[in-house]
Structure 1
Amino acid sequence: MPKSEGTYNSFMINFLIDRKYRVARHLLLILFFVFVSFNLPFLTCAVFLDQVDHMVWYISLALLVSYLGGVYLHLYVLLPELLLKNRYVLYTITVSLLIFLMILISLGADYGVTRYYDQEPTHYSYFYKDRIPAIEIAGNFFLYALLIAGTSITILLRRWMQFSKRKNELEKENLKTELESLKDQINPEFLFNMLDEAGEQTPNDPERASMVLMKLSKLLRYQLYDGKREKVLLISEISFIENFLDLAKVRYTGLNFTVTKEGKLSRKLVPPLLFIPFAIYYVKLLPSVSSPMDIHFTFRAGEKELFFSCICFAPGITDKDPENGRELEDIRHRLDLLFKESYTLDTVDEGTICRTNLYIKL
């Protein structure tokens, strides 16, 4: 079965950066320069090969040493000490001088071969009569520059991937920290008041106090355990809101609410404590414990989307606390972190009637 293109790409990247292929990479590099170093002098001697002796091997070896010396000097000294430390001007100057030195050695080897064997420069020689030295030097400069850059790709690619990995890890950690901070901000403040309420009602109405404590324990359990998970069942999130509003009704006697569920809610997963901020936001609008308020929640689940709607009617509301506006901004900020551009949130405030529509693409 043929491998996919992605498999080959993955192997090539691993071959270039993985330490277990280090020896193989260096062997390929050395073999390449062996081929180049021993090929160039023999090309220069192409028309008088019958006259060559051991000298051509010495010149080839000298070329090999100069090439490998220049490349490894760049890899292990110039690249880490200059380029990776942002000393760009010194790096450019030093590498340019190194390339010119390598070109001079190549020219010297070329000239030395023809002079040693007392022959006229051949077609493959830098000093062939039809060639222009300035163009040859400029062309070789760019060729050597590309060669040195190519041999540096392993280190540069590894450093880039390490930087990218660290950046992604930091972004995830910052996102996690920020989300946890926002979740802490939306913890219901009235839970402590509910404890006081249960304590006050215990002597007179123990059943009511028991109900309050049971609902309160469910809320706390959800916050302590499910609230720490990355995703929870949507139906569990809805139950949490219902328990919250049941408790809110104990304290706010004028509060009434309904929850409508449509679609396959039991199969949907959402971030925990996603919708409770809206319930808290509207309950906090009540000016007193006896003020009337009707809240209607709607949850509708599609194949790859989720629609949430909240309509609040509270005729007793006049002035709104600016703190509630900041809480709404915190809600929007958390949605930005969780869903980026995959959601729309619309809020309409018409005085005694407030509407919120949230559409999420899952």
Structure 2
Amino acid sequence: MLWILIGSGLLIFSPLSFNITLPEEFWVRQAVLFVVMVMIFYVNKEVLVPKYLFTTKTTIYLTIILSLCVLFMFFIEYFENLIHLKEAMHKAFHPDGGKPFKPKKDIFDVFTLLLLFLAAGISTSIATVQKWQADEVARKELDQQRIQTELNYLKAQINPHFFFNTLNNIYSLTSIDVERARTALHKLSRMMRYVLYETEKDQTLLSKEIGFVKDFISLMRLRISDKVQIDLQIDEEYEDRVIAPMILLPFVENCFKHGISSINQSYINIRIHVHEGQLVLETVNKIYPKNVNSPENNPHGIGLANTKRRLSLLYGNDYTLDINDSNPDQEYQVKLKIKI
């Protein structure tokens, strides 16, 4: 389509504005010129630009393409002389024969040379744009592969981190109440099914993610003492949407890891609700000193750090995370908003 437009505009419609009857030799020359322009276009686009220009051999490229255009210009001039075009054009413009024909001695046809340069320039531009587009697609594919690999790695770290803590809880419970330990194992098995099947997907239903969090909190209730007060507020009615699996657990888990004291009264406040298209998680717990040398007791440990990275990779600017651990009340406060 593009070549039809160029050929028609430059080589057919423009000559028709001469208001004279053009000889057949002229149209033959136009057809040859069109073929030459197409040849330069594709030779330049498919061979010269990739082989020389894209490999930083600019001087060689310019030498070849300029020489090629000049060479084809001479070919067009030779072809015009071969078919006696100039003499035929003289007769078309002077049908009365009043002015004798004098052949030009110029060897350069500037107009023809400019047309050939135009074909070469357009082909160079198109080849450059196409290469840029291909490179951009390849870069995005590599970025996507890198992000997916990193997400898989982060999830692989989060899951063992969670099970390590949960199994420790059940181990402690077996020496206190076997029946409660069995109940804990049943809940853990249900949670394991969620981890095994849902984390293989990029997204899961919000109802499943909230159900998983509820199971976790219920499991933790079996272990903690009466000194810990848990205020849990989770919306029961909300529009079920999709969310990244296990994105809420590290924040909830963090409350139980670092907000419980074996001596003092403790409290954990957890609220999950949906507001104006955003999932909102708010947690508050008291900060109790732990063994800072233990990676499992580090409040900025592996699970939370990886979750922050996952949030950044998955949601970009569609989430906000505010963590306040330096307030006068010695509380660890988290407010996470995710656009869903």
- Common fold, TM-score beyond 0.5? yes
* One-letter amino acid of the structure 1 residue matched with residue 190 of structure 2: K
Contact 1:44 1:121 in 2 (8 A): no
Of the three residues 219, 222, 226, the one matched with 1:247 is 219
Contact 2:40 2:119 in 1 (8 A): no
* One-letter amino acid of the structure 2 residue matched with residue 295 of structure 1: I
Contact 1:82 1:91 in 2 (8 A): yes
Structure 1 range deviating more: 277-286 or 213-222:
277-286
1:307 corresponds to: 280
Counterpart check, 1:267 vs 2:240: yes
Tell me which protein shows more helix as a share of its residues: 1
Report % sequence identity. Answer: 23
* One-letter amino acid of the structure 1 residue matched with residue 41 of structure 2: V
Of the three residues 300, 309, 323, the one matched with 1:347 is 323
CA distance in 2, matches of 1:358, 1:263: 19
* One-letter amino acid of the structure 2 residue matched with residue 239 of structure 1: G
Question: Unmatched 5+ residue regions in structure 1?
Answer: 1-24, 124-132
Structure 1 range deviating more: 232-241 or 288-297:
288-297
Superposition TM-score, scaled by structure 2 size: 0.74
Superposed displacement of residue 276, structure 1: 0.6
The alignment partner of 2:269 has SS state of: strand
Counterpart check, 1:208 vs 2:180: yes
CA RMSD of aligned residues (A): 4.1
Superposed displacement of residue 38, structure 1: 7.5
1:181-260 matches, within 5 Å, as: 181-187=153-159, 188=162, 189-197=164-172, 200-201=174-175, 205-253=177-225, 254-260=227-233
Superposed displacement of residue 46, structure 1: 7.6
The alignment partner of 1:324 has SS state of: coil
Contact 2:53 2:61 in 1 (8 A): yes
CA distance in 1, matches of 2:18, 2:211: 88
CA distance in 2, matches of 1:233, 1:65: 60
Q: How many correspondences in the alignment?
A: 317
CA distance in 1, matches of 2:270, 2:330: 17
1:3 corresponds to: none
Of the three residues 32, 36, 41, the one matched with 1:71 is 41
Question: Unmatched 5+ residue regions in structure 2?
Answer: 95-105
Superposed displacement of residue 103, structure 1: 3.9
2:69 corresponds to: 99
Q: 1:34 to 1:231 in 2, by over 3 A?
A: closer
The alignment partner of 1:284 has SS state of: helix
The alignment partner of 1:341 has SS state of: coil
CA distance in 2, matches of 1:192, 1:318: 20
Counterpart check, 1:281 vs 2:254: yes
Contact 1:194 1:212 in 2 (8 A): no
Superposition TM-score, scaled by structure 1 size: 0.70
